[in-house]
């Protein structure tokens, strides 16, 4: 099956019965539910981009397996050109969503592409797991499936003992093995895009170092979202049922976050990729370089998001007539700096990319991981700058309905600026509010702060990767230099 259209994606969701719960009710059809349907349409629009004649060669490539055109995010890049082509494709999707859909389908696509290329790594656990990961990658790429994923176990306590205690009945674990597969039980967070996905991948970044070498908590598998015993519990939707004028982002890009419950879920053996081996689990992201490839996708999303927020700020200050004020220029310059730093890190990681042990062209892990560390602190600051630039104008935002009310003439007269009509001003600042002040916008800030872990953990990752010996050696050489003047 070649790359899907939006209509085919929607039909796929309708054909698979799944258990989704939102506001105390089971969702009968995610494609029509008012809290989810607009998000479904936005993902469908991404799939339709693959069939735009002007974008086809930048969105798809010819499958080496079937000869069909499939999504370019599934490509296993063997050259720098293919790496850059994948980035171009990811940027198209990221810009189409203003960088506001963090878990667009390409995120998991690049993950499984990396894992398939490194299938021998999974074969160290059991030989059949290498075959399983290759076949699953082929299945999702040839059928153009959308995946969600869940990485983290729920914690009863944030104390040290609570964080490392996996025996409290909440953590997802293997309860038993059968001839048909493994039976798992427990809960996981946060399955972003869960209700909008065809399948869910379940794994962990790593387990605590003190865990036994063989553990029922060490696993990696993927199953359809409609698998019996699998339940998704949604947070409240940030699509409030308002118009695109009133909530331009929330009414389009609600990707939803879920807690996932596994009640004696049977995972067929062919869908198991890792089982029980803690060391193998802990080494997966770095050894297969899936971490670098997902960071590459993140960098494209982050760049698109920086560009969009910067653009909103520029248009805001142009509309208000304060773009030339010194404090505005300083803040706009800071936004520009974050945008271009993101672009530079991404392009540097591509320019210096090398073939890894699996024969995959891998973006330089250090430079590409820098984009994650940078963005988790830069994005909250960018939103603060947006708030400072807009100040009270964020609150001068009547609804679309007000323009049809008896007060419309007053709104048109008094809310216009020297450069912009009242309706255009309000439309812009309702967008800016959805970025910087609404529930949707607040969730974006929280997401970017923590989706790649916390700042301390990220700093430790960078420190472990950085070639510190070169910096130390330069200082030692200077200290040993004999510059005595004779």
The answer for 14, left when phi > 0, alpha when psi is -120 to 50, beta otherwise, is alpha
Say yes or no: 370 and 389 in one domain. Answer: yes
Phi, psi of 64 (to 5 degrees): -70, -15
- Residue 208: in which H helix or E strand, if any? none
What is the distance between the alpha carbons of residues 152 and 454, in angstroms, rounded to a whole number?
13
Question: What pLDDT is stored for residue 484 in this prediction?
Answer: 76
Question: What pLDDT is stored for residue 161 in this prediction?
Answer: 52
Question: What pLDDT is stored for residue 206 in this prediction?
Answer: 81
Sorted by sequence, the CB contacts under 8 Å of residue 414 that are 6+ apart come out as 422
Phi, psi of 455 (to 5 degrees): -55, -40
Q: Are 154 and 189 in contact (CB under 8 A)?
A: yes
What is the distance between the alpha carbons of residues 386 and 376, in angstroms, rounded to a whole number?
16
Say yes or no: 467 and 411 in one domain. Answer: yes
Question: What pLDDT is stored for residue 454 in this prediction?
Answer: 85
Say yes or no: 364 and 442 in one domain. Answer: yes
Say yes or no: 358 and 321 in one domain. Answer: yes
User: What are the tokens at 232?
Assistant: 């998704």
The pLDDT tens digits for 10-47 are 999 999 999 999 999 999 999 999 999 999 999 999 99
Question: What pLDDT is stored for residue 137 in this prediction?
Answer: 99
Q: Are 257 and 234 in contact (CB under 8 A)?
A: yes
In a domain, 270, yes or no: yes
Say yes or no: 387 and 256 in one domain. Answer: no
- Residue 69: in which H helix or E strand, if any? strand 69-71
In a domain, 355, yes or no: yes
Say yes or no: 117 and 262 in one domain. Answer: yes
Other C-beta atoms closer than 10 Å to the C-beta of 396 total 14
| C-alpha separations of 444 from 272, 379, 437 in Å | 33, 9, 10
Final residue before a domain boundary, out of 233, 267, 286: 286
| Spans of the chain, pLDDT less than 70 | 158-168, 208-211, 486
Question: What pLDDT is stored for residue 210 in this prediction?
Answer: 57
Give the residue numbers spanning the domain of 393: 289-473
Among positive and negative, which fits the CA dihedral 154, 155, 156, 161? positive
- Number of folded domains in the chain? 2
Question: What pLDDT is stored for residue 125 in this prediction?
Answer: 94
């Amino acid at each position: 099956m070649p790359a899907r259209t939006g209509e085919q994606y929607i039909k796929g969701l309708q054909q698979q019965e799944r258990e989704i719960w939102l506001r105390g009710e089971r969702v009968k059809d995610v494609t029509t539910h008012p809290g989810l349907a607009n998000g479904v349409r936005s993902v469908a629009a991404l799939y339709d981009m693959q069939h735009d004649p002007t974008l086809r060669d930048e969105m798809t490539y010819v499958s080496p397996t079937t000869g069909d055109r499939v999504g370019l995010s599934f490509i296993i890049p063997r050259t720098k050109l293919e790496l850059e082509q994948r980035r171009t494709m990811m940027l198209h999707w990221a810009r189409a969503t203003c960088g506001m859909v963090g878990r667009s389908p390409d995120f998991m696509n690049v993950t499984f592409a990396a894992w398939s290329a490194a299938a021998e790594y999974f074969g160290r656990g059991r030989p059949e797991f290498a075959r399983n990961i290759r076949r699953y990658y082929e299945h999702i790429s040839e059928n153009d499936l959308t995946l969600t994923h869940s990485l983290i176990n729920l914690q009863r306590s944030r104390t040290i003992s609570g964080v490392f205690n996996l025996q409290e009945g909440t953590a997802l674990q293997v309860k038993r093995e059968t001839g048909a597969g493994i039976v798992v039980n427990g809960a996981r967070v946060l399955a972003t895009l869960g209700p909008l996905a065809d399948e869910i991948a379940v794994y962990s970044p790593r387990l605590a170092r003190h865990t036994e070498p063989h553990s029922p908590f060490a696993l990696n598998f993927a199953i359809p979202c409609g698998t019996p015993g699998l339940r998704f519990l949604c947070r409240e939707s940030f699509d409030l049922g308002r118009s695109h004028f009133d909530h331009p982002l929330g009414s389009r890009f609600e990707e939803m976050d879920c807690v996932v419950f596994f009640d004696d879920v049977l995972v067929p053996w062919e869908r198991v990729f890792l089982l029980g081996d803690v060391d193998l689990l802990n080494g997966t992201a770095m050894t297969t370089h899936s971490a670098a490839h997902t960071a590459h996708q993140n960098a494209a999303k982050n760049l698109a998001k920086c560009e969009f927020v910067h653009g909103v700020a520029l248009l805001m200050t142009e509309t208000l007539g304060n773009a030339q004020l010194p404090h505005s220029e300083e803040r706009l310059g800071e936004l520009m700096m974050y945008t271009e730093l993101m672009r530079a890190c991404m392009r540097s990681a591509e320019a210096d990319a090398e073939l890894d042990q699996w024969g995959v062209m891998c973006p330089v892990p250090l430079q590409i991981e820098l984009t994650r560390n940078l963005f988790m602190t830069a994005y909250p600051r960018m939103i603060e700058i947006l708030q400072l630039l807009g100040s009270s104008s964020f609150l001068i935002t009547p609804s679309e309905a007000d323009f049809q009310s008896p007060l419309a003439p007053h709104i048109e007269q008094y809310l216009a600026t020297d450069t912009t009509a009242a309706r255009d001003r309000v439309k812009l600042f309702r967008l800016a509010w959805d970025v910087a002040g609404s529930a949707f916008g607040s969730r974006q800030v929280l997401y970017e702060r923590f989706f790649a872990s916390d700042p301390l953990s990220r700093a430790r990752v960078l420190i472990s990767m950085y070639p510190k010996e070169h910096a130390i050696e330069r200082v030692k050489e200077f200290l040993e230099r004999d510059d005595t003047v004779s």
